[in-house]
Homo-oligomer: A and B are copies of this chain.
């Protein structure tokens, strides 16, 4: 079916839902989804359908879709593949807008499943509704509080990042990790085999969705390459698209086929496609989230000239190496900055240059603030990075001292108007020593709230800055 903004919008912003296969059993997908959806507090009626139950988790259960008091906007199917066809017929009879099909057992499972999938498509066409899935985890939307599997504790604060994914597990990981990192979503859609609504449709939708500012995507392959590339081009002309594409290696193409039944396409075709668009290619969930974080706090194209600072020579040398390989510049300090920093840091064992070695992990706070202020103001660099290892710093400054370090960085970020990045990590991760981790997480929260991006290593910081440039 052709792209229709209103149809997809109606599904993602459904005002009533039914869960066919709702269950009291928390180990079944139907039970997980029911519990999660109820906990999430969907903003409208949630009809639970199961012919074998009177009541599910304290709510009335209906035997089938036909017995619901009203047609729901959106139906979740969480029963085995071979029993889903009759439900789809009822969806047509009731005139629902869309169906999320959770079960596997379709094209990815072989010929029989592929035939079943054709039937699904036929029933959707006849019934006049659209399908997300099958073989997927569904939709997360913090606005109407739809949640995807397992989705029991996702954030209810909406944001401007949309994410679409062929993998259900990765969708929920992105939702959960994003939440911890202060990345808020307009929606996440796990679309699995994409029998009807596919990557191209979702890219087009999010390109036009005014609440989406950045699009992320996990892709294994696409069936209609031309339509996908057109949609990608359209989306990337509107907003940054962070694309994680697997299946480039020959060895993984079989894995793609047995996972979502897609054709991965050769690495050459994909690379060429990316070159033609303004897409950011990222690989792995950590890198995807790093890029989303960098887009949020540094913006699109913050500039390639970085000033690296921290207590030690090795970290600077390593940063210079990484920056060089990533295509970032570490230019010599502006003359005025050099002079002022030399005045401030005096004979404290510091090496005033770029990278800037402050000589010790932490300085007395006023000296630290003056140093960071001058470093941020350095006219010929675009981004300031400060590197800190928790374990020793915690011993030097204590918990409150470290929060003051975070405060200095947020002030400098605010006053300078320039992006500030903190590289923050702990080298000690013994089971009986969780304190540095607790303080690190608190520092990170404080910094992220105030617009300072935080990465766990110089490598990841530099890679993220390079990717958004």
Contacts and interface: CB of A to CB of B under 8 A. Distances in A.
Given A252-B323, A317-B255, A321-B246, A169 B311 contact: yes
A325 interface: yes
A58 interface: no
Interface in A308-346: 311-325, 329-330
Contacts of A395: 150, 152
A312 B248 contact: no
Q: Max chain B CB contacts within 10 Å: which of A252, A319, A322? A: A252
Given A180-B429, A247-B321, A428-B180, A255 B173 contact: no
Interface residues of A, number: 79
A208 to B, nearest CB: 27
Interface stretch (A65-73, A138-146, A228-236, A256-264): A256-264
Interface stretch (A16-24, A49-57, A295-303, A433-441): A433-441
Interface in A234-254: 246-252, 254
A258 B312 CA distance: 12
A366 interface: no
A260 B313 contact: yes
A357 to B, nearest CB: 8
Contacts of A329: 251
Contacts of A254: 320
Given A249-B324, A329-B251, A430 B441 contact: yes
Contacts of A108: 313
Q: Max chain B CB contacts within 10 Å: which of A172, A258, A349, A396? A: A258
A173 B389 contact: yes
A284 B351 contact: no
B250 A324 contact: yes
Nearest to A312: B169
Main secondary structure of the interface of A (DSSP, over half): helix
Contacts of A172: 392, 427
A417 interface: no
Given A317-B220, A457-B284, A427 B176 contact: yes
Given A313-B167, A316-B259, A248 B321 contact: yes
B320 A168 contact: no
Contacts of A260: 313
- Copies of this chain present: 2
Nearest to A246: B321
Given A169-B389, A170-B318, A434-B434, 16 more contacts: A27-B396, A166-B314, A169-B311, A169-B314, A169-B315, A173-B389, A246-B317, A246-B318, A249-B325, A252-B317, A254-B320, A258-B313, A258-B353, A259-B316, A285-B427, A286-B457
Interface of A: 27, 104, 108, 150, 152-153, 165-170, 172-173, 176-177, 179-181, 218, 220, 246-252, 254-256, 258-260, 284-286, 311-325, 329-330, 349, 351, 353, 355, 357, 360, 389, 391-392, 395-396, 427-431, 434, 437-438, 441-442, 444-445, 457, 459
22 contacts: A27-B360, A104-B349, A152-B395, A167-B313, A167-B315, A170-B314, A170-B315, A176-B428, A177-B427, A177-B429, A179-B428, A180-B427, A246-B318, A246-B320, A248-B324, A249-B322, A251-B323, A251-B330, A254-B320, A255-B355, A259-B317, A434-B438
